[in-house]
């Protein structure tokens, strides 16, 4: 191994990261919640700038995998590394957008105030004003194309607009890893595609690793680098062409699954997805 592999670099969040090391590395990981095994023998690595979709049926452990990376739960066995270190709560190198719930129509908080909770969400209210804080929020709003409704009451925004605010929140600490939990749910096809394009642009422009939980791979097929498919307490990772096949999914589910490609879309038959 040459000397350059071992050179360390300092990112903007003052985290020492080995140059060339994966952003995420999981080796022989088992996840259990109570007496239930969620996932067995997870082995995967994700590098900077990779866009990864997490797919699988309800209850298979897609969101649980994000919680593991966020340090909210611990692996029973195996090794988990985020930029070379064990997961921990409050890691500012990770931006996280939770599952979106449409906000009440009479909620009067401005869009920019909601984004600001990503900086000072530990206390209620829009936080103390400062030029640096304002500039940080403005930059995040600009990156998600939300400046034009920054002062609108958030309860009056569409689901797609509210989703942009959650992504803006996740960008505030300039993360190296972006975790998005079902950002396409409850969005129509057009708005969902806008979010996919937005996330892909952020991934490439920032060279940030993205893990996006979704139920349908079709809006993501043209942009994702890898797919993690979770089912039946196991998962597999690879390119969409490698993972979303009849042979691979049949092996993962332990029962016959047929993958049909037609009209530029992928249909998985015989599995709950």
Max Cα separation, the chain?
Answer: 60
Which of 168, 196, 177, 180 lies closest to 54, judged by CA? 180
| pLDDT tens digits for range 26-35 | 999 999 998 9
The partner residues of 51 in beta bridges, in order of sequence, read: 210
Judge contact between 165 and 98, C-beta under 8 A.
no
- Structural domains of the chain sorted by starting position, each given as residue range(s) with its CATH number in brackets: 21-269 (3.40.50.300)
What secondary structure does DSSP assign to 17-38, as a single string? EETT--SEEEEEEEEEETTEEE
Predicted pLDDT of residue 108: 75
195 CB-near residues (< 8 Å, 6+ apart)? 160, 163, 164, 167, 183, 184, 187
| pLDDT tens digits for range 93-133 | 999 999 877 666 666 789 999 899 888 654 444 555 688 88
CA angle 142, 205, 17 (to 5 degrees): 115
Expressed in angstroms, the distance from the first to the final Cα of the chain is 42
Judge contact between 179 and 82, C-beta under 8 A.
no
| pLDDT tens digits for range 226-245 | 999 999 999 999 999 999 99
Judge contact between 169 and 117, C-beta under 8 A.
yes
Phi/psi of residue 19, nearest 5 degrees:
-60, 130
Q: How confident is the model at residue 268 (pLDDT cuts 50, 70, 90)?
A: confident
């Amino acid at each position: 191994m040459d000397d350059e592999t071992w050179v360390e670099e300092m990112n903007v969040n003052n985290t020492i990261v080995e140059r060339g090391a994966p952003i995420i590395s999981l080796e022989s990981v088992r996840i259990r919640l109570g007496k239930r095994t969620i996932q067995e023998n997870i082995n995967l690595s994700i590098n900077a700038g990779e866009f990864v979709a997490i797919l699988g049926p309800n209850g298979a452990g897609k969101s649980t995998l994000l919680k593991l990376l966020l340090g909210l739960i611990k692996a029973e066995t195996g090794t988990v590394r985020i930029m070379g270190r064990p997961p921990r709560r409050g890691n500012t190198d990770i931006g996280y957008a939770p599952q979106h719930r449409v906000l009440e129509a009479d909620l009067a908080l401005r869009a920019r105030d909601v984004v600001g909770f990503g900086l000072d969400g530990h206390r209620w209210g829009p936080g103390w004003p400062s030029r640096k804080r304002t500039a940080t929020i403005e930059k995040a709003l600009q990156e998600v194309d939300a400046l034009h409704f920054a002062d609108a009451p958030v309860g009056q925004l569409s689901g797609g607009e509210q989703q942009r605010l959650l992504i803006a929140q996740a960008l505030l600490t300039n993360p190296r890893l972006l975790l998005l939990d079902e950002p396409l749910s409850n969005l129509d096809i057009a708005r969902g595609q806008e979010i996919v394009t937005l996330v892909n642009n952020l991934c490439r422009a920032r060279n940030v690793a993205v893990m996006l939980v979704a139920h349908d791979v079709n809006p993501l097929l043209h942009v994702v680098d890898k797919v993690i498919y979770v089912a039946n307490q196991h998962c597999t990772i690879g390119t969409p062409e490698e993972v979303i096949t009849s042979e691979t999914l049949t092996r993962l589910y332990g029962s016959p699954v047929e993958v049909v490609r037609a009209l530029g879309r992928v249909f998985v038959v015989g599995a709950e997805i």
